[in-house]
Amino acid sequence: MKIRSSIPSKVLFLLGCGAALIAHAEEPCVQLPPSLQSVPVANISKASELQTIDEQLEAHLRRCMVDVKPQNTKAVCGNARLAAEQALRVIGRIDTASRHNPVLAGAKLKSYKTATALLDRSKKLVADRVCLQ
């Protein structure tokens, strides 16, 4: 016996997507995983590979761009600056590799803007005494 749901499957799918977005938005600010910090950039042969790295960096940095609240102060104050610096190191390695790799030459990375903004924000949080060093 098959029971039919009164809720259309498209609505259930959209609800599931919304729950996934909420869960992703609540992920804590963490340092970049070692696999992303040490990603081999010299071997990138496709623009899509570079875009994937950029999107991964962006996703990690966005977690730290949230408003500081009592429940996330420790995570944001402890990890935001480190995550930004780690992302900028990866971007620097991409820039260095671009001298020898035409796929990387002239690449525009969204994560660069986010990382520099996060680094500036982290410095401001320390200056405003929201985060203590």
Q: pLDDT per residue over 23-36, tens digit each?
A: 445 789 999 999 99
Note the pLDDT tens digit of each residue in 64-87: 999 999 999 999 999 999 999 999
Q: Is 14 left (phi over 0), alpha (psi -120 to 50) or beta?
A: alpha
For residues 70 and 127, is the Cβ–Cβ distance under 8 A? no
For residues 64 and 76, is the Cβ–Cβ distance under 8 A? yes
**Domain locations in the chain?**
29-127
Q: Report the pLDDT value the prediction gives residue 16, as an integer from 0 to 100.
A: 47
Q: Which has more confidence, 26 or 110?
A: 110
Judged against a pLDDT cut of 50, whether residue 15 lies above it is answered with: no
The dihedral built from the CA positions of residue 5, 8, 11 and 12, taken in this order, carries a sign that is positive
Average pLDDT, the chain: 85
pTM of the predicted structure, to 2 decimals = 0.78
* Look-up of token digits 């999107």: 55
How many CB atoms within 10 Å of residue 133? Answer: 6
Q: Report the pLDDT value the prediction gives residue 103, as an integer from 0 to 100.
A: 87
